Amino acid sequence: MKKQIVFILISAFAAAFTSCNNDDNGRDNVGFSPKSDQQMTVGPEAGIHTIYYDIASPTGASVAAEVSPNVDWIEEVNTTSAYGEVYFTVSVNSGNESRTADIVLTYEGQALEFTVTQEPYASFTISVQESECTTGMVVWKVVPPDPELTYVSMAVDKATWDSFDSYEEYIAYDIEYFQEQAAKRNLSYEEFLEKYVLKQGEGTYSAEDLSADSDYIVYAYGMDAAGNILTDIYYAQARTLPVTPEDVVFKLSVEQNAEEWTLTISAVPNNDEVRYLMDVYNGTNTPEAIAESYQKMLDEIIYLLPILGGGTVYDYFMEMSYQGEATSTPIDIPMASEFTAFAVAIDVYTGQIISNVSMLVCESEI
């Protein structure tokens, strides 16, 4: 009888031990498994991504998440929004290399490791359209890495570009300029970017009113409407053409209207392709002195054009200049007893005189 009682006690103890041991195994083997690929690749843009998992035998415990140390581009990990899902937020990858981090999920002593790789944007393609560049304009074509990507593309003289120690400093210089221009127009920074700055898709762009025979940098970088920088800066060097002198001579005649105190100048150039200006000089002087004085006046006009909202240098001189045989609009007769009517060829992109002065000294009829 004693043996039977001992046997029963031992059996009960063993059963209890086995039952307890099975509970531990249940907690350690709850069926915590991945539904997402554990090697994840995400795009370069900022955004929210999801890791999916499954738990065969939930116990009511919480899933915990840990990101690799010293990783700042995975900004937030949310494990509590929905069962079976973990959300994580990445910032934009504005570099030119991919970057990788691990997210480790744990549940009831079990761990799942997910490796997240964020790709960079591919580079911009920038090509200078040399055949379209002029003495006062450079033209370039931009192909962005993504047709949906918004970006900045502009030109700057090379001396200014070289004065910055880093690309980050130059972009900060751009941003400061955009903010100043937004304030002048009573627009928010975001409104100004969207209306005047940001471009999208493949495009051909130009910068005008530049100096002749000079180096410029044309560039592009990704930016969104909130002003976030999305990519590195990419650039190419362009150069304006030198001003080419024209060997042109003008045959001049003058007709005065004493009643209206005006005159007109008629000119016949020996080259019908050039564009030229006609005007009068108060008194007489050498052709070189007249050209110098007239160029100073033209330079003042060029300086005032953006202030007065007069369009580009090219637009102004195309409107004001003549081509082929022409008669000027009426000009006030100078008060001097003698004056000099003259004509001179002009580079319409820069406003620079490109020929010798042809002139005709006249006596005033008033």
| Cα separations in angstroms, 352 against 110, 118, 217, 252, 293 | 78, 52, 23, 21, 12
pLDDT tens-digit map of 332-347: 998 888 999 999 999 9
Alpha helices in 128-242 (DSSP H): 158-162, 167-184, 189-192
CATH for 32-118 is 2.60.40.10
> Backbone phi, then psi, for 237, in 5-degree steps?
-100, 135
Give tens-digit pLDDT for 125-134: 999 999 999 9
Greatest pairwise CA separation for the chain in angstroms: 154
Distance CA 115, CA 41 (A): 8
**Is the distance from CB of 85 to CB of 52 less than 8 angstroms?**
yes
What's residue 53's pLDDT? 95
Establish whether domains 32-118 and 125-239 are of one fold.
yes
Whether the pLDDT of residue 23 is over 60: the answer is no
The pLDDT of residue 15: 39
Query: Pairing state of beta strands 32-34 and 47-55?
Result: antiparallel
Quick: pLDDT tens for 242-268.
999 999 999 999 999 989 999 999 999
Please answer whether residues 269 and 357 qualify as being in contact, where contact means their C-beta atoms are separated by less than 8 angstroms. no
Q: Which range is most confident: 5-19, 72-86, 124-138, 308-322?
A: 124-138
Answer whether residue 17 shows pLDDT above 50. Answer: no
CATH 2.60.40.10 for domain 125-239, yes or no, is yes
- pLDDT value at residue 30: 85
The pLDDT of residue 265 = 98
Whether 21 has a pLDDT exceeding 70, the answer reads: no
C-alpha to C-alpha distance for 49 and 42, rounded to whole angstroms: 8
pTM over 0.75: no
Asked whether the beta carbons of 278 and 342 are under 8 A apart, the reply is yes
Check residues 8 and 208 and name the one with the higher pLDDT. Answer: 208
Confidence of residue 121 (pLDDT cuts 50, 70, 90): confident
pLDDT of 9 above 70:
no
Pick from 91, 116, 110: nearest CA to 53 = 110
Q: Where are the alpha helices (DSSP H) in 237-308?
A: 287-308
pLDDT tens-digit readout, 268-324: 999 999 999 999 999 999 999 999 999 999 999 999 998 887 789 999 999 999 999
Q: Where are the domains of the chain?
A: 32-118, 125-239, 250-363
Residue 255's DSSP bridge partners are: 264
Give residue 28's pLDDT band: very low, low, confident or very high (50, 70, 90): low
Q: Across the chain, what does the average pLDDT equal?
A: 90
Q: How many CB atoms lie within 10 A of CB 221?
A: 22
pLDDT surpassing 80 at residue 22: no
* Cα-Cα-Cα-Cα dihedral sign, residues 298, 302, 304, 308: positive
